[in-house]
Structure 1
């Protein structure tokens, strides 16, 4: 961390402390209010401490209910949270499929619970102007574990990307020690080996490999994808020097040589990406239905041998193998994740050390237990102890730990880690469910990976160069609204034509015309607004 950043971080903390001192000395009433706001809080709470409220407390929170491990009132998770912290959580249960929409509605109507998890960086911005959520950067002195990880892992630059136009941030993101990739291509390694085809390390090598597969298996389309091709577009775009699919975001890419943002879909790199996948479709190597079929349909093609390549993550590998054991027979096939192929821009890796995080309702500040709430969130989400607890459960009950190595007890299964277990860590106990368990050290992250997945992570780390963070574009409330109004139709039109270009429904010779059409929909105003905001922030 450079000296300037250290001073900046120290200044934030000192300012918060100073404000508390001033508030405490201003009057008897203010002093009384400050005391009430600290009711139930630990008098001394620092890094390494286990939070336990001085009296029994109850906090409301939103809960995203996953259909594969639905909420249970009698989970060991809830029992142990209460036992360890003296806090009872009162969850508002929302189906995962409706979570974003209902979360937004509850916040906008002023009926939100105090703790609002499962919020990805950027999603908090629309709630800032109304004052509905807390500027959590004002209270870093109350969150020692969060602050410790930011400093220890030198994440000040990344945290700055969450700042709004007022210089504050309103989301407590999940924090990972290192960038870790999740999605890549999963291939039938037995088919590759049987036909003496090397596993590809670049997109060009993938093309050559699929050509050979098509010659050998003319009735098979080698690559049939899921996620409406958005995951593959995202991971491929990085190696082509652009953004697409899930990674398209606001549509802007920072051009360091010009110190300005450009619209990703108007660049030569984006055209090169489209040209590559159009070639795959044209030559019958990529299934046209990849862009419209459901995940189950794509999965069925892969597990039945009607395709040899599909996108996915480690959990998908487990799912595919379970189905293929039944269809093809255990030992009659082999599949594996391969490192994300490199592209014309090189072996690059996009990603962030941020994970979805927590917003806090601004109503929390009015609570007499405000400080206790901050301490509770800090311990549960950011302490090593809290992160291990929400991920692995209770030592001796759901896992054992010997010489620092954790293992599920014989009767507990998690995502194929202990397939003979008759109970499930998520379904039956409530741990590792995602509402709490995200972020932490790389050691903790890897502790629940198979050896195969750890090797994939290590290979990616050794081969790939992480892309530098892009500068911040901290819109004012008015400018953000304008940017959203401009960007939404631009992205819709980009998505439509990306599909047309790849499928050959629109000739790539019309790419320049496509750019002109975007300009007719306010492209320049959108890019100018972003660059003006960036330059103003940079100079100020």
Structure 2
């Protein structure tokens, strides 16, 4: 009897355990599916929405959106862009218009007060960080399963390593970035190639070769300072730093560089590569090859010197090189000069290229999750900003009205439409008169789409960069928690301000490069080691 009773107890215990495990599994499934379960049922979402589908809400819906208004193509409610969006998708965008000059400040105020529209575009990676802890913006990475075009491009274009830099300490990211198929280098130097030809010189491939060219220019034109830069020299420091194995200028960022061999972060502006870079540019100034005013003059002054023949080299991108050429046409006349973008010179770190496949993107107000059209809104965003069809539409407009496409897929603006000089005889602007190719909608996409509005000259530059350069992948992320981030910011802000000032002082000769150790000591006194130690502690903890 006792044995039977014991067997009965064992059976009861076994059944209880089985019941507990089944309940746990059921709860686990509910937990894992909670993201989907928490989403309000959206009657206007498309069923089985997938890559290749054109999104169209079942009934008309209105989505509030913030809009950065560019002074060169101010917002117009009756643009063909909005008319066509409504026609194709059943979506009306209720715009909150903010002048571009006030956009960042107004965006912050609206988000902080809880009054931000649902879609918040023109957000560069990193600009979302101040709003993460407050819960006012959506952790969009939780919901990308509802965005098939976005997911497909992330996988097909190997975007994930770049997305890592967006993830916060909770492992989520809060901004939907614009996605490029390839890294897109743009900024470099423009050079007067007619002067090169006159002096029997070749285009430079390294910084040392560029220095030799500047010396020859100075010998031939003693009254000219061959290199006078714009953008306060920050653009040149940015793309030059990569080839010296560091970061600077626009690309200084956190000022931390990852040492793969040591598996740790170091303070970039304290490195040998940084010293080598500032020494190089100091030598250019010392020899009268680089204009001292490069770090202080405004863009108009720098451009004026270049087009007036007071300099032969200047910072540029795909658009400004066109501006230089137009100005030189007026001053010197066609066929009296030639200019070209230099493939970014190589340096001590080799022929390398930094950059990202990410661009500015979208934040979503966290209140969107309670919107009855949440799923439909994500489908709409996925189509307009991330599908091939939506990206072509936002960039080129409506086929047959603003552009045509031939059998080979080549796009051409229609007869009376112009954009960035592609059709100079056109009297209507693709952006100002129709709303397309504007910064709130048109970014990212395939390399073919990107190149479709480039001149042959710019495509040649892009191809040369990719053919001759090794791409450096982004550093691993450092996922600070809220307190760590606050401490990191307190340490880094004065350090980076000091680095900016000291960099210019070294280049201009106002700070003696022979006293580099004194500069390092100043960095240490300002907390450099504490800043680096904190970064490595967080990195290794996360790892």
* TM-score with structure 2 setting the length: 0.93
Is 1:190 equivalent to 2:189 in the alignment?
no
Q: Match of 1:78?
A: 82
Q: Match of 1:34?
A: 40
Judge conservation of contact 1:23–1:34 (CA < 8 Å) in 2.
no
Judge conservation of contact 1:116–1:359 (CA < 8 Å) in 2.
yes
Q: Which moved more, 1:402-411 or 1:229-238?
A: 402-411
Tell me which structure has the larger Cα radius of gyration.
Answer: 2
The secondary structure found in structure 1 opposite 2:166 is coil
Alpha-carbon offset, residue 97 of structure 1: 2.1
Judge conservation of contact 1:16–1:138 (CA < 8 Å) in 2.
no
Alpha-carbon offset, residue 240 of structure 1: 0.6
Deviations 1:7-50 (A, max 9, x none): xxxxxxxx99965855887xxxx8xx832xx1321123111111
Judge conservation of contact 2:35–2:142 (CA < 8 Å) in 1.
no
The residue correspondences of 1:153-302 to structure 2 (distance < 5 A) are 153-302=157-306
Give the Cα separation in 1 of the matches to 2:114 and 2:51: 33
The residue correspondences of 1:125-524 to structure 2 (distance < 5 A) are 125-403=129-407, 404-524=409-529
Give the Cα separation in 2 of the matches to 1:99 and 1:290: 28
Judge conservation of contact 1:16–1:140 (CA < 8 Å) in 2.
no
Judge conservation of contact 1:108–1:127 (CA < 8 Å) in 2.
yes
Q: Match of 2:126?
A: 122
Q: Match of 2:8?
A: none
Give the Cα separation in 2 of the matches to 1:232 and 1:226: 9
Give the Cα separation in 1 of the matches to 2:275 and 2:495: 16
Structure 2 gaps, min length 5: 1-26
Alpha-carbon offset, residue 156 of structure 1: 2.3
* TM-score with structure 1 setting the length: 0.93
Alpha-carbon offset, residue 161 of structure 1: 2.4
Corresponding residue to 1:104 among 104, 108, 113: 108
RMSD: 1.6
Structure 1 gaps, min length 5: 1-14
Give the Cα separation in 2 of the matches to 1:77 and 1:430: 5
The aligned length equals: 516
Give the Cα separation in 1 of the matches to 2:29 and 2:119: 23
* 253 and 151 in structure 1: CA distance in 2 versus 1, 3 angstrom threshold: same
Q: Match of 1:7?
A: none
Alpha-carbon offset, residue 413 of structure 1: 1.0
User: Structure 1 segments of 4 or more deviating over 4 A?
Assistant: 15-25
Give the Cα separation in 2 of the matches to 1:392 and 1:280: 44
The secondary structure found in structure 2 opposite 1:34 is coil
Give the Cα separation in 2 of the matches to 1:145 and 1:17: 26
Alpha-carbon offset, residue 130 of structure 1: 0.4
Deviations 1:504-535 (A, max 9, x none): 00100121111111111111111111111100
Alpha-carbon offset, residue 67 of structure 1: 1.8
Q: Match of 2:117?
A: 113
Corresponding residue to 2:68 among 55, 64, 74: 64
Judge conservation of contact 2:69–2:75 (CA < 8 Å) in 1.
yes
Give the Cα separation in 1 of the matches to 2:332 and 2:165: 48
Give the Cα separation in 2 of the matches to 1:106 and 1:158: 28
Alpha-carbon offset, residue 470 of structure 1: 1.0
Judge conservation of contact 2:318–2:458 (CA < 8 Å) in 1.
yes
* 375 and 17 in structure 1: CA distance in 2 versus 1, 3 angstrom threshold: farther
Q: Match of 1:4?
A: none
Deviations 1:163-221 (A, max 9, x none): 11111111111111111100010011111111212111110001000001001111111
Give the Cα separation in 1 of the matches to 2:429 and 2:362: 26
